[in-house]
Structure 1
């Protein structure tokens, strides 16, 4: 008898989290036992998530819908916990450094979005409409389903239905599922390629990641502390103190979200929680509490949240039973997959001056399978979050997330395709890519890459 009668009950939530812990443990045991899992650098959370998916409603049916629904709600919450302490316990970046981090991320993100919106719409007009007679909005399924994810695909069902294309809702969910699976699988392929080519910082020259390739259990002389005890235990546990500061950062983020929502609806919480963390850091650094802060404790909190984010995101994938319009959808998604790979290899090493692989891989994941996949891939490529990728990605979010990947532009694209036609709309976005490419050169943010 399992406590799964009500999705929102505390018993269901506790049971769901407990099962996630069991799945992570199963992933640990499998990776320790099976050498090729270790050689593929598959994290225990991903392995456990795959087990959870196989045992869920679309597989063996061991886990019921209420439990899986609880898992599906966790990635967004856990992403906030990951990003809230991103700027806590560290020296805050100067304005020039902030620009150097955000500008390349914005260019990469918007250039990729223009391609992922424009080219599928052109393919729809030139190929899919003549051959299969699909709707002009068909090409928007990539933007809606891949970076938008299942949530955006569900929200867009009203838009599709309002334009007389009811089947767009189920196709959007299918697109989101394919994108999620492709993002995870191809992301791991890219990660292993990057490790072999010496592009991944954590796996260079016998780094911490590289050591894990031969043994996942670290030797006694290779172990690092998770952080020091900085306050008396009869006052508060050090971990509890740091969690309290993370909670304060999230509360500040919620206030900022409420204020911004009056002007720009749909702003995600995680970048605002990071801003809240920066404000907490600024205040704490000027008080006696500054001596109690241990940055490694914050990194530990982030690591735990990332592990549970990954296992819950993978285990709650909604696998569609029947896919209508399979042929044109397959063509469209193959085009999208090739585009995602092309601009990973072509734009990434030319735009990112620092940590090009890590910054590109988190964007690849979020472009094909929402932010949770990007964070999962970054977690594997940069286990200790030592590169600038996570911080730069989070700093970009307020200038990016409200517009594409589930934002304002995502909602408008299908309507533009109906009003002006798929071809004209697609060409307009392709022209936007060219403009951004020129802008990157003008701003000196485009360089000849090192050998890739």
Structure 2
């Protein structure tokens, strides 16, 4: 990995590009205030601002210079490391009994859906598009990264695809992520209405308030971050951001060591491992008392907003138009796949509150955790089901690996090494093997219980 020195002109260009992203984020917030439809369909300000930047960019209006757009495009692969590095710092791993009862079904279904979201596109690409239209073999890997990973992972995987010689991956993945987000929210809302009519939603409150405004009153605000370090020493944001930077530095060291062995390994999963090392290193020291997980999450959220707006604003429209047939066909297949898993697997995996838990899984399969929480809050406003607990407890066994984790980063490498046919077949074999495994660990609900749950 070659290091390049920045001169003052390059740093100035970077500063101008970042200030432009700040303007787009503010415009995204204002547009959500001005256009109630954007709030009703739950589009985040970062995505709205990114679309504004895309319209103003060189592919459409041409207000944004090519140099600024190119800088935005390169930022995503850097910012994703800051998002992932703090994931395991200050993270308490749940006990095995907790995982087995509430998180076990979520862990099982997350891994099953990930294997399906990789295996089916791989086989479709090999059998239909790779031979007939000459579509790049790595095209199959954008769907798990975008449908389960969301816009952040879709943008952050740019370095992984570029290192393997495919520059178009990030733009296509962002297009797929936008499709999955819109489908997930719209279809999830339809599923909630179906569930309410059929009596599946036992915790639904018809008087639940809708989000009328993005401006939260004083009574609704919740102070989360805690300061445990004297400001005379260092600001609490400075301390936590320094922990993140140390984790990224450790991850960079791993990347230097792995580059000759595993070509194309991106930095962000290694930065996450670096975060785990930081966590273990300070967990038995006085420094650990200073760690505030909400502060780390807030820093990651800031960089995720900048990541999404920069990636969407620099999206390559010609690349999407060039691959629209394959993108449309496989996206429709993914939509059918997620619905099949919801209606067939959820009642068989979740022993209680199957509809709410199924919605959580549907949300994570069509977007990000935020989509899952959004749908769950619509179906269970007071969080009386065990859907939120199951999701939270399952994250340490899911997020570091799939839907944007270490395994997601390995999929493009595996496709380049073994081809779509063998990766696709391997993933489907993995799906089949998970079924008896679920029965062995008593995750599979007996047929008599399923009739009672559906009734």
Query: For 1:335-363, what per-residue CA distance to the aligned partner results, in whole angstroms no more than 9, with x for missing partners?
Result: 45544554466556766889554454344
Q: Distance in 2 between matches of 1:240 and 1:142?
A: 40
Alignment correspondent of 1:47: 48
Query: For 1:227-247, what per-residue CA distance to the aligned partner results, in whole angstroms no more than 9, with x for missing partners?
Result: 232222221111111111111
Q: Give the TM-score normalised by structure 1.
A: 0.72
Q: 1:238 to 1:157 in 2, by over 3 A?
A: closer
Alignment correspondent of 1:395: 400
Structure 1 unaligned runs (5+)? 1-5, 159-168, 366-373, 418-424
Cα deviation, residue 256, structure 1? 2.9
Q: 1:74 to 1:357 in 2, by over 3 A?
A: farther
Structure 2 unaligned runs (5+)? 1-6, 146-153, 197-202, 378-387
Residue pair 2:46, 2:308 contacting (<8 A) in 1 also: yes
SS of residue paired to 1:231: coil
Match of 1:309 among 288, 303, 307: 307
Alignment correspondent of 2:252: 254
Query: For 1:344-384, what per-residue CA distance to the aligned partner results, in whole angstroms no more than 9, with x for missing partners?
Result: 6655676688955445434434xxxxxxxx4775797799x
Q: Give the TM-score normalised by structure 2.
A: 0.71
Q: Distance in 1 between matches of 2:426 and 2:287?
A: 53
SS of residue paired to 1:401: helix
Alignment correspondent of 2:148: none
Residue pair 1:265, 1:402 contacting (<8 A) in 2 also: no
Query: For 1:9-46, what per-residue CA distance to the aligned partner results, in whole angstroms no more than 9, with x for missing partners?
Result: 11121111111111111111111122221111111111
Alignment correspondent of 1:412: 418
Aligned length: 405
SS of residue paired to 1:81: helix
Alignment correspondent of 2:279: 281
Match of 1:230 among 228, 242, 246: 228
Query: For 1:207-243, what per-residue CA distance to the aligned partner results, in whole angstroms no more than 9, with x for missing partners?
Result: 9xx7671332112122111423222222111111111
Q: 1:328 to 1:116 in 2, by over 3 A?
A: closer
Query: For 1:163-207, what per-residue CA distance to the aligned partner results, in whole angstroms no more than 9, with x for missing partners?
Result: xxxxxx98x788656524423432442454577669xxxx98699
The equivalences for 1:169-318 within 5 A come to 176=173, 178-190=175-187, 192-193=189-190, 213-318=211-316
Residue pair 1:7, 1:13 contacting (<8 A) in 2 also: no
Residue pair 2:338, 2:362 contacting (<8 A) in 1 also: no
Q: Considering only aligned residues, what root-mean-square deviation do their CA atoms show, in Å?
A: 4.4
Residue pair 1:403, 1:410 contacting (<8 A) in 2 also: no
Q: 1:267 to 1:138 in 2, by over 3 A?
A: closer
Alignment correspondent of 2:25: 24
Residue pair 1:24, 1:45 contacting (<8 A) in 2 also: yes
Residue pair 1:106, 1:400 contacting (<8 A) in 2 also: no
